[in-house]
Amino acid sequence: MLRTSKCSGRRRVRITTSLPLTAIALCLSTAALAAASFSRTAAAADALGTWYTGDKDSQVRIVNCGGALCGNLVWLKEPNDPATGRPKTDKHNADASKQGRPLLGVPIVLGMRPSGPGQWSGEVYNASDGKTYSGSFTLTGPNSADLKGCVMSVFCKSQTWTRVN
């Protein structure tokens, strides 16, 4: 409620309410936190789904994993090794115990946490050389994103990924 009164020629405005100011502040703070949480969830939801990698020879499905983004290889244009006729394996992996596992299903996007609007940072596994790099996933449009992998945050390579419709 707003009340005005004149006192010594000056106009005074006094706001009165039936709720204590701390209750109002608490409500406003809760609303602000809920809005921020919703916008983060909405941005993460925009990144979720299946994406063609840069060369369109494979697809990675991005999912929410505990508030981060994770993605596994779910499709290969050429799923079988031409030399053996058998499904491709993770033969370049630096961990010898993983070299025999099927390439389909291998985690590629690893625990990327929000680092800005439409951007996540974490690690990227490159099955072509079997190494894991620090990296980022950045939405560049509703159906496009850049995936970047870096060595020592200096030497970086990026790919433009396209959402699978």
- Answer yes or no: is 98 within a domain: yes
- CATH code (residue 77): 2.40.128.520
pLDDT, tens digit (0-9, with 9 covering 90-100), for 107-163: 999 999 999 999 999 999 999 999 999 999 999 999 999 999 999 878 999 999 999
pLDDT at 11: 55
Three-class SS string for the chain?
A: CEEEEEECCEEEEEECCCCCHHHHHHHHHHHHHHHHHHHHHHHHHHHCEEEECCCCCEEEEEEEECCEEEEEEEEECCCECCCCCCECECCCCCCHHHCCCECCCCEEEEEEEEEECCEEEEEEEECCCCEEEEEEEEEEECCEEEEEEEECCCEEEEEEEEECC
130, amino acid identity: G
- Answer yes or no: is 49 within a domain: yes
Enter the tokens of residue 47: 């990144």
pLDDT at 9: 57
- Answer yes or no: is 108 within a domain: yes
pLDDT at 144: 97
- Answer yes or no: is 5 within a domain: no
- Answer yes or no: is 70 within a domain: yes
- In the chain, how many domains are there? 1
- Answer yes or no: is 2 within a domain: no
User: What residues make up the domain containing 137?
Assistant: 44-163
What is the rounded CA–CA span in Å between residue 47 and residue 138? 9
pLDDT at 10: 57
pLDDT, tens digit (0-9, with 9 covering 90-100), for 4-63: 445 555 555 444 444 443 333 333 333 333 333 333 444 456 999 999 999 999 999 999
Q: What's the predicted TM-score (pTM) here?
A: 0.73
pLDDT at 130: 96
